[in-house]
Structure 1
Amino acid sequence: MFISTELEYVGFWARVWASLIDTILMMMVIFPILFAIYGRVEMASGVTLTGASNILISYILPAVVVIIFWTTKNATPGKMVIGATIVDAETGEPPSLKQHVIRYIGYYLSAIIFCLGFIWVGFDRKKQGWHDKLAGTVVVRKKNKGTEPVKFGI
C-alpha cells in the first residue's frame, strides 16, 4: 500500500461534467454518420434505427473510441478537460486493456438500474462507480487543498 498526497479521487459532479463533454463530442461524430446513412426523413421521424449500420455506429464505434482513449491517454476527452485520469486501484499505474474492457462493459451494468452504479460514485469512499469496482480502477486528478489523499492497494 502507498498513499499519494498529490492526487485526489474525482467525485460525482466532476465526472458528470466529463461525461457530458464526452457525450456531446460523440454525438457530433455519430449523428452526421447516421444522418448520411438513414437520411433526414427517417432520422426526423423518431423511428428507432435498426440494422447492422446502427449497431456498428451507435454501439461498436463508441466502445472502440472510448477504449482507445483509455488505453492511449488513460482518459476520455471529458476527463482530460477536468484533469482526471483512470488508474489501477491497487498500483496507481495505467490499467490493462482487460481492465478497460471490463470497465466499459461495467458501464452497462452501472446504467441498468436507474444509473445507480454511476450515482454510487457520490457515496463511495474512493469515488468508484460499479464499473470501477468491477475493473479495479479509480479516477484521480491532482489534489486540491483540503481533500483526502489517494490510497492505493487498500
Structure 2
Amino acid sequence: MQQNPEMDYVGFWPRVGATLIDTLLLLIIIMPMLIAIYGRSYFSTDSLFRGPAHFMISCVMPPLIQLAFWITLSTTPGKMAIGAIIVDAKTGNKPSAGQCVKRCLSSYLSALPLYLGFFWIGKDSRKQGWHDKIADTVVIRRKTAAVPASPGLPLQ
C-alpha cells in the first residue's frame, strides 16, 4: 500500500494506550466470571492453573473476543477510542478473516522474545509489529478534513 495522504500509521504509544483500554474492559468482563465460579479465594491461591473454567475464561476467551472485533469491525474498543483501525497493508481495505486469525496467532510470536515484536512498532517506518508484518496488516487512523467555521461564529 502506498502512503495515502488520508491515512496515518498508528505508532507504539497510542497502541499501548489502546491495549490498556482493551485489557481493562476485558477485566471488567472476566473478573466477575472468575469470582462467580471460584469465589473470593481465587485471589488467595498461588496456583497458576485453577481449573478448566479459569483456562477458558482467562486464556481462550480474550483472544476470541479480540478476533471477533477484528473480523467484524477491523478494530477493538481500545483502538476505537484512539480512532484506529486495522487494514490490509497492500490495499488499505478491511483485512480478511484469515489475516485476522494470522495476526492473532502471530501476536504470540511478537511477545515471545521479550515483546520485541511489539517494540518493533516504534522502529518500523509503517509502524508494523511482527504480527502485522506476518499478517500483512497495518494499523491506521483516517485523517479527517478540517471542519469549516460556521458563518457568524467567531474563530477562537
User: TM-score normalized by structure 2?
Assistant: 0.87
* Rg (Cα) greater in structure: 2
Q: How many residues align?
A: 144
Q: How does 1:2-151 map to 2 (within 5 A)?
A: 2-143=2-143
Alpha-carbon separation, structure 1, partners of 2:42 and 2:22: 25
- Matched to 1:4, the amino acid is N
Residue ranges of structure 2 left out of the alignment (5+ in a row)? 145-156
Residue type matched to 2:11 in 1? Answer: G
Using the alignment, how far apart are the partners of 1:58 and 1:45 within structure 2?
Answer: 16
Write the deviation string for residues 122-143 of structure 1: whole angstroms up to 9, x where unpaired: 0001100011011000000024
Gaps of 5+ in 1: 145-154
Q: Give, as a single letter, the amino acid of the residue that structure 2 aligns with 1:12.
A: F
Q: Which has the higher strand share?
A: 1
- The answer (yes or no) to whether the contact 2:67–2:100 under 8 Å persists in 1 is yes
Counterpart AA for 1:37: I
CA offsets per residue over residues 21-72 of structure 1, 9 Å max, x none?
0011111111111111111123223432332212211121112111111111
Quote how far apart the aligned CAs of 1:3 are.
Answer: 3.9
Q: Per the alignment, in what secondary structure is the counterpart of residue 4 of structure 1?
A: coil
Shift of 1:107: 1.3
How large is the RMSD of aligned CA atoms in angstroms? 1.4
Q: Distance in 1 between matches of 2:11 and 2:113?
A: 20
Contact 2:128 2:138 in 1 (8 A): yes
* Bigger mean CA deviation after superposition, 47-56 or 86-95: 47-56
Please say if residues 34 and 42 of structure 2, whose CA atoms lie closer than 8 Å, have aligned partners that are also in contact. Answer: no
- For 1:4 and 1:125, locate their aligned partners in 2 and report how far apart those are by CA, in whole Å: 14
Q: How far did residue 2 of structure 1 move?
A: 4.2
